[in-house]
Every structure is written in C-alpha cells, then in structure tokens.
Amino acid sequence: MKRFMLLTMLAFCGNLNNAMAQSCLPDGITFTSQSEIDNFPLNYPGCNELNGYITISGFDITNLEGLKNVISIEGDLNVKSNMCLTDLKGLENLKSVNGDLSIRRNSSMTSFSGLNNVTSIGGSLLIVTNYKLRDVTDLYNLQSIGNRIWIWNNPYLTSLEGLDNADLGGITDLRIMYNERLSTCEIPSICDYLSGDTDTTILISDNAAACNSVEEIQNACVQLESIVTFFGTANPYGQQIVFKYTLAEDSPVKLQIFDRMGREMATLVDQYQTKGTYIIEFNNGSLAAGIYLCVLNTSQGKQTIKLLKVTGQ
C-alpha cells in the first residue's frame, strides 16, 4: 500500500513538473488589457515556452508581471501602442525571441527594463516612435540579432549603448533615423558592422551630430581607436575594478562613473596626462548592485563602457 501511494505521488509530481514547463499557444496570443495580462498564469498554467507570437497592445496596460514565467517566444514579440506602459518589467525570465522584437508607438515607455536577460532575437529588432525612451542599456545581454535593425523616431534616445555585444553579422537592413538627440552610435557592434564589406541597406540620417551619417559614425569609431587603445574591465565585477587606457597624445583627462540616472558616483581622474598607458584601481564597495557607465573624456573625444555590478559582490 505504501509503495502504491509513493508511486502515485511520484507520478503526480512528474505531471506537475510537466505542467510547470511546457510549450503552448501555437497560434499566438494578443493582450489588450491589464486584466488579460494578470490572468495569463491562471488561464494558461505552466505556459512558458510560446510556440506562437505575443502582441501587447492596450490603453490600460501598466505592467507585464503576469508574463513573468515566459522564457521563450517562437514567433514575434510586438509591444505597440501602449499609453501607460513605462517599461517591460515582468519579462525578466525571457531569454529568446525567435521572430521579431518590435517595440513601437509606446508613448510613456522610458526604458526596456525587463529585457535584461534576452540573449537572442531571431528576426528583426524594431524600435520605432517611442517618444520618451531614453536608452537601450537593458539589452546588454543581447548577443545576436537575425536580419534587421530599425531605430526610428525616438526623440529622447541619446545612445545605442546596450547593443554593444550583439553580433550583427547577419544584418541586411540597418536604419537609424529621426532620433534627434541620438549622438552615441560608435559602439563596438556598430563600428565592426560598418567596417565590414557588406552589400546591405544602410540608412543613417536625421540624428544628432556624430550619428548623422555612416561617415560620421565611422569617424567617431576611428577617433576612439586612436585615443584609447585599451580601456576596460571584466564584467560583471565585484569590489575592485582595474581600468587600463592608453593615450595617443598629451591630453586633459576626466574619468567618471555615472549611474543609469546620469548621477555622478565617482571621479577617478581629473587632470592633465601625457601620452602613455595608465592603470587606475577603484574600490567600488560603496556602489549598489546595478548598471553603471564609465566615461573617459579627452581633448579629442570620449569613450563610454558599461559596468555591471552583481548583488553580493
């Protein structure tokens, strides 16, 4: 009798585990209200690998916490025309989108917080007409994008940092246009892409200075390479950071660390330095876990790297 009960319990637990991790919704799903988002775990228990698409478009949607168990989407992820959605928190467990990741016409969205663990986009990355979007730094774990990148008409976007580590080798259509404050495009992934011999569609215009044409971005990439031959540290990092950089010529230098809100957390160097290599150590025990930007300013330009401090280190 005890053996029978044990086998029954094991079978039940096995079925429960299967219910907790399963593929579902081959025809996709569209959310048009907050209540539909909230009820998703109840209506589709264990549904975390979507075989279809997800569309999120509703005037009263304010958060995506109901989607916290979703880990992969086989189709597209469309987030569009949401008036009250300020970020994408709730999608922290999402790791891959095999179709397009399209974020369009979200009038209140300021960041992509929630997409921090996405590593791959099989199709296109489309960031279009998000009027309050200020950065894309939350895409820092993104490693690959399939075929297109459109970054279009985001008036408060100032930098493409966050896309630094993505492999753009398969991109056939790159459009960065009508982002009037966008001035930092010379990130490693874009520099590498524009330096290649590619027969692709590349349209870059109507952004801010230094990001207003292919030539401007290429010049900024070359300029940074001539000023700083190496500047970096291991990421994520713990209590101690070691910065190493080489100046091609004498220059005033300012090396600063900022948090994501643009607040200056530390100034490591603010002086005139001669041509050569410098090493700076910084004990960052006072900094909370999170993302920081380290900015090196010289007389010929600046370079920015992103730093990730992990909780408990």
64 and 200 assigned to the same domain: yes
295 and 171 assigned to the same domain: no
DSSP 184: B
200 and 265 assigned to the same domain: no
Tally of domains in the chain: 2
Judge whether 99 lies within some domain: yes
237 and 219 assigned to the same domain: no
Residue 244: give its domain's CATH number.
Answer: 2.60.40.2550
Last residue of a domain, one of 203, 226, 249: 226
Last residue of a domain, one of 226, 243, 260: 226
250 and 187 assigned to the same domain: no
Judge whether 90 lies within some domain: yes
Judge whether 165 lies within some domain: yes
Q: 254: domain range?
A: 228-309
Residue 211: give its domain's CATH number.
Answer: 3.80.10
Judge whether 140 lies within some domain: yes
Half-sphere exposure of 64 (CA within 13 A, CB side): 29
Last residue of a domain, one of 207, 226, 245: 226
127 and 219 assigned to the same domain: yes
User: CA-CA distance, 168 to 221, in Å (whole number)?
Assistant: 16
240 and 202 assigned to the same domain: no
25 and 161 assigned to the same domain: yes
For residue 111, what are its two tokens?
């960041």
DSSP codes of every residue in 248-306: SS-EEEEEEEEETTS-EEEEEEEEEE-SEEEEEEEE-TTSPSEEEEEEEEETTEEEEEE
* Tens place of pLDDT per residue across the chain (313 aa): 444 444 444 344 444 444 455 789 999 999 999 999 999 999 999 999 999 999 999 999 999 999 999 999 999 999 999 999 999 999 999 999 999 999 999 999 999 999 999 999 999 999 999 999 999 999 989 999 999 999 999 999 999 988 988 999 999 999 999 999 999 898 878 988 988 766 789 999 999 988 999 999 888 776 555 544 444 444 555 667 778 788 878 889 998 888 766 788 889 889 999 988 888 888 877 777 777 778 888 887 777 776 766 554 4
Judge whether 241 lies within some domain: yes
User: What is the Cα 14 distance to its own chain's centre?
Assistant: 36
Judge whether 8 lies within some domain: no
User: What is the Cα 33 distance to its own chain's centre?
Assistant: 26
157 and 22 assigned to the same domain: yes
Instruction: Kindly give the interhelix angle for 214-227 and 188-195, rounded to the nearest 10 degrees.
Output: 110
Judge whether 9 lies within some domain: no
111 and 134 assigned to the same domain: yes
Beta carbons within 8 Å of 107's beta carbon, 6+ residues apart: 82, 83, 130, 131, 132
212 and 118 assigned to the same domain: yes
67 and 142 assigned to the same domain: yes
Judge whether 37 lies within some domain: yes
pLDDT of residue 12: 42
